[in-house]
Amino acid sequence: MANTELTIGMITRETLAVLENELTFTKLISREYDREFGRKGAKIGNVVNVRLPVRFAATTGQGLQLQDLAESSVPVVLNTQYQRAFAVTSSDLEVNIDDFSKRFINKAMCSMANQIDFDGLQQFKNIYNEVGTPGVVPASATTYLAGGQRLSEEAAPMVDRNLVIGPGMNATIVAALAGLFNPQREISEQYSKAMMSKDTLGFDWYMDQNIPVFTSGPLGGGPLTNAAVPQTGATLITDTWTAAAAPRVVQGDVFTIAGVFAVNPQSGQSTGALRQFVVTAPASSDGAGNLTMTISPAVVVAGPFKNVTGATGDITGIPDDTALTFNAAASTTSPRGLAFCEEAFTFATADLPLYGGLDMGDRIADDQELKLSIRVIRTYDINTDRAPLRMDLLGGWATLYAQEACRIAS
C-alpha cells in the first residue's frame, strides 16, 4: 500500500518521544511544566516560580513556641528557546514515520538533548560542596563515597541518588573497581558495557559527555577575611590578595574558611567538616589587595536555616583575619561530575504559542512524566518548493537545593 503524507501531529509526537529518549541529566532532576503560559503565549523572559518547603527549628518544652511560616520560591526564567530547523520536500514527507524519524528527527533531537543537558550541567557553578582533587581523576571508590557522605551530612534524601560523570571518569573508575566483590550479574554488565552499573556505592551511575570543564580563578596572595565585626550573609570582605588583578576569583571557585564548620540542617550540630562556599560572581582585587566576593550559601549563624558553627560552638559570624583555602589550585582546568538528588535542580518549560497562517503547526506536552512541551511548525517556501520545518522548546534552568548536590572534581 502506498505511503500517505505524514501529518504534523505524527511528526510532533515523534519529536517529543525521541527528545525524551535522548536526554540524560535532564531526566534525573525535577521538572516543571506551566500550561498557563500556553494560554498567554510563552516567550523568552517569562518566569515560573517553584515553591520551596518551609523549614522549622527544633523546640522543646510544654510552652507553645510558634514559628513564623517563611515560605519561599525560586524563580526559573524561561531564557532559552531551543530550536532545530530544516527544510523537507514533498517526497521526504511521503515515507513512514520511522523512516522520517531516522533520517531527520533523531539527529535533530539528539543535538537538542545534548544542548539541554549541557546547559543543565552548568548549574554545577551554584553547588558549594565539592570532593576530590581538581586535575586528578578519581581512581578509587573513596572520592565517590565522600560525595555520598557530603549529601548525607546535608540531610539529603537517601533514596534516588544519582551520579553523572564524564567518559574519562567512567573509564578510570570502572577499571579501578574491577577487583571488588559485587553481584555477578552487575559485574558482568558493567564490564561488557564498560559502564558503571546502577545502584553502586549508593548511586545510580550515568555517563554524559556534556559534563562541564571548569577553570578556577587566578587567585594569588594569602587571602584573609577582613571586617571589624563578624560577617554574615552572602557577601564576604577579604584582603591580602595579590594587588590589582582582574579577576582573582571566578564564579564556581570553591573554598573553606579556617574554623568555620558545616552543620546538619536538621539538628544544627557540626558535621565535623569545614563549610564549603562557592563564589557566585567574578571579583577583582584593588590596588591594596582588598577583594569583596559574593558567596553561596549565605552565612547564617542562628535559626532554622543556620548553616555554620565554630570549632567550639555557635559563632556570631565569620571572624576577622581568618584564612581562606581554595579547593583548586590557581587556573586549574578540569572536569566536574555531579552527585545529586532529584530536587537539587529543576528544568521548567511552557507551551509556545501557535500562529495562524501557517501550512501546519502543532504542539504537544508531556505533563505527567518528563513535563516537557515542544512545538513543531511547518510552512511552505514557494521560491524553493520546499517546506521549512522547525522544532522549538522554551525552557530555563535553576538550582533548587544546592545542599542536595556535590561536585566531583576530576
Question: Which of 313, 30, 343, 352 shows the shortest CA–CA distance to 157?
Answer: 343
pLDDT in tens, 292-346: 999 999 999 998 889 999 999 999 999 999 999 999 999 999 999 999 999 999 9
Distance CA 54, CA 358 (A): 47
pLDDT at residue number 1? 36
Outline where 82-166 has alpha helix (H).
97-100, 106-121, 141-153
**Spans of all domains in the chain:** 8-58+73-123+346-393, 131-213+334-343, 217-329
pLDDT at residue number 199? 77
What topology does CATH give the domain 131-213+334-343? hypothetical protein PF0899 fold (3.30.2320)
pLDDT at residue number 57? 60
Question: Which of 45, 83, 19, 20 shows the shortest CA–CA distance to 392?
Answer: 83
Question: Which amino acid makes up residue 404?
Answer: E
Lookup: cell for 181: 566483590
pLDDT in tens, 215-265: 999 999 999 999 999 999 999 999 999 998 889 999 999 999 999 999 998
pLDDT at residue number 193? 46
pTM (two decimals)? 0.88
Report the DSSP beta bridge partners of residue 75.
49
Question: Which of 83, 3, 6 shows the shortest CA–CA distance to 376?
Answer: 83
What topology does CATH give the domain 217-329? Elongation Factor Tu (Ef-tu); domain 3 (2.40.30)
Q: Do domains 131-213+334-343 and 217-329 have the same CATH topology?
A: no
Distance CA 93, CA 99 (A): 10
pLDDT at residue number 357? 61
Residue by residue, pLDDT tens for the chain (410 residues) are 344 568 889 999 999 999 999 999 999 999 988 887 777 778 898 988 887 755 566 677 778 777 666 557 789 999 999 999 999 888 888 888 999 999 999 999 999 999 999 999 999 999 999 999 999 999 999 999 999 999 999 999 998 899 999 999 999 998 888 766 455 555 555 544 445 667 789 999 999 999 999 999 999 999 999 999 999 999 999 999 999 888 999 999 999 999 999 999 888 889 999 999 999 999 999 999 999 999 999 999 998 889 999 999 999 999 999 999 999 999 999 999 999 999 999 999 999 988 776 678 899 998 888 899 999 998 888 888 888 999 999 999 999 999 999 999 99
Handedness of CA 140, 143, 144, 148 (dihedral sign): positive
Distance CA 87, CA 105 (A): 12
pLDDT at residue number 324? 98
